[in-house]
Amino acid sequence: MKIALTGASGLIGSRFFDLLKSKYEIIPLSSSYGVDITDKTKLERFLSNKNPALIAHMAAKTGVDSCEQDRETDIKKLKKARVYIEDKKLDVLAIDPTEWKNEVSAFAINVVGTKNLSDYAQKNEIPLIYISTDFVFDGEKNGEYTEEDETNPINWYGQTKLWGEKVLPQEHLITRTSYPYGYKSQIKKDFIWSLVDLIQSQDIARLVSDQIITPTFIDNIVYALDFLIEKKARGLLNVVGNNFLSPYEIGIAISREFGIPEIKIETVTREKLYKGRAHRPFKVMLKNDKLRDLGFEMTDFFETLKLIKKGI
Ligand SMILES: NC(=O)c1ccc[n+]([C@@H]2O[C@H](COP(=O)([O-])OP(=O)(O)OC[C@H]3O[C@@H](n4cnc5c(N)ncnc54)[C@H](OP(=O)(O)O)[C@@H]3O)[C@@H](O)[C@H]2O)c1
């Protein structure tokens, strides 16, 4: 099967390419490969030439703080074009893709880029898989989030990723993942390897103890997507790990696994660490029961930590 892969140069996309290139004919697509998803005409021409049977859409503007900086100008432009109706509501049909061509804002890439791909997929009757995020939630729920829970993004990254979900018709697959990590990559340092470097290089590392995240092993994400492609799954699914942990707990686990004295790790509150930065949801425990019920098991965090340390 021929798969067009957006975000092929990114953290998850590059691993998708490496692990599945012998199984599928993967056509990499990202701005570094010369295709900008905000350029609808060029994108459609590229895809028509390649004629993929499926689009795996992993391209996004992912920097939470840099997305936040786009909020004001994006909203101004959306209001002027009467696309932004009122509090967080969009008139999707009023989006004019030419207005956002080659723009690098969060709205241009995460919403218009996704809509451009979705329009091509619909016109050509092929499925699209979209990777979304736990940041569509506000983190205020007292308990775990399922696919049925109400969304309420509290930063521009989460808002634009949610609108990316909304522009897709039902026949596509939306997978929400969170805090992806994996083997040491030349492409991008994930949060686990950033923590390893932090703990190794500082005399005292201060890690947040009042935040809970759902770390997800990237190889699990890739093989879950492969499984879902084979199953022809549609709708919305959480593709996340099994463990809910604070960055402090993760730091302690890393220090044990990598043999770094725990004394070097101290706790800090999220309020102190993220002062002056974009708001983040601080307690997002995503449940993966629906994926498990379909027949796919994610690996335990502490087991994968051993694997990535050994590099095997
Ligand atoms: N990383 C996380 O913590 C996280 C958590 C949950 C969900 N996700 C979602 O998972 C997906 C993959 O994330 P990631 O961390 O692997 O991303 P990443 O490493 O930041 O890579 C983003 C990719 O998007 C491409 N891209 C950006 N703008 C583009 C444009 N205008 N046209 C074409 N390609 C463009 C980039 O290509 P160039 O570099 O060539 O521009 C790059 O390949 C995203 O949808 C993200 O929202 C990520």
CATH number, domain of 124, equals 3.40.50.720
What's the confidence (pLDDT) of residue 275? 85
The residue whose CB lies within 8 Å of the most ligand 1 atoms, and thus the one to mutate among 62, 155, 160, is 62
Closest atom of ligand 1 to CA, residue 108: 31
Structural domain includes residue 89: yes
Residue with CA at minimum distance from ligand 1 atom 15: 11
Give me ligand 1 centre to Cα 259, in Å: 32
Average pLDDT over residues 76-104: 91
Q: Is the CB–ligand 1 distance for residue 9 below 6 Å? A: yes
The residue whose CB lies within 8 Å of the most ligand 1 atoms, and thus the one to mutate among 12, 17, 32, 176, is 12
Structural domain includes residue 40: yes
Structural domain includes residue 248: no
Give me ligand 1 centre to Cα 109, in Å: 10
**pLDDT single digits (tens) 191-223:** 999 999 999 888 888 999 999 999 999 999 999
Give me ligand 1 centre to Cα 262, in Å: 33
What's the confidence (pLDDT) of residue 271? 85
Structural domain includes residue 203: no
Strand extents, DSSP E, 76-200 = 128-133, 173-177, 180-181
What's the confidence (pLDDT) of residue 272? 86
Does 238 score more than 70 pLDDT? yes
Q: Is the CB–ligand 1 distance for residue 110 below 6 Å? A: no
How many structural domains is the chain composed of?
Answer: 1
Q: Is the CB–ligand 1 distance for residue 28 below 6 Å? A: no
This model's pTM is above 0.95: yes
Q: Which domain holds residue 18?
A: 2-188+216-242+285-300
Average pLDDT over residues 167-192: 94
Structural domain includes residue 268: no
Q: How far apart are CA 139 and CA 143, in angstroms?
A: 9
Q: Which residues pair with 245 in a beta bridge?
A: 213
Place 92 in a pLDDT band, splitting at 50, 70 and 90. Answer: confident
Structural domain includes residue 292: yes
* Closest to 178 in 3D by CA, of 21, 285, 311: 285
**pLDDT single digits (tens) 17-70:** 999 999 999 999 988 888 999 999 999 999 999 999 999 999 999 999 999 999
**202 vs 305, more confident:** 305
Pair 36, 29: CB distance under 8 Å? no
Q: What six digits make up the tokens of 75?
A: 């909203």
Instruction: Output the CA–CA distances (angstroms, integers) from residue 129 to 55, 113, 263, in the order listed.
Output: 6, 14, 44
Q: Is the CB–ligand 1 distance for residue 188 below 6 Å? A: yes
**pLDDT single digits (tens) 239-269:** 999 999 999 999 999 999 999 887 788 898 9
Closest atom of ligand 1 to CA, residue 130: 45
Residue with CA at minimum distance from ligand 1 atom 34: 30
Structural domain includes residue 310: no
Q: Is the CB–ligand 1 distance for residue 10 below 6 Å? A: yes
Average pLDDT over residues 90-105: 94
Residue with CA at minimum distance from ligand 1 atom 11: 58
Place 312 in a pLDDT band, splitting at 50, 70 and 90. Answer: low
What's the confidence (pLDDT) of residue 31? 85
Please, what sign has the CA dihedral across residues 64, 189, 144, 118?
positive
Instruction: Output the CA–CA distances (angstroms, integers) from residue 66 to 70, 157, 308, in the order listed.
Output: 7, 9, 29
What's the confidence (pLDDT) of residue 257? 93
Q: Is the CB–ligand 1 distance for residue 208 below 6 Å? A: no
Give me ligand 1 centre to Cα 52, in Å: 20
Structural domain includes residue 8: yes
Residue 8: Cβ within 10 Å count: 22
State the chain's mean pLDDT as an integer: 94
Number of H helices, E strands in the chain: 13, 10
Does 187 score more than 90 pLDDT? no
Q: How far apart are CA 154 and CA 297, in angstroms?
A: 30
- To which residue do tokens 């109706």 refer? 85
Q: Is the CB–ligand 1 distance for residue 164 below 6 Å? A: no
* Closest to 179 in 3D by CA, of 96, 295, 282: 282
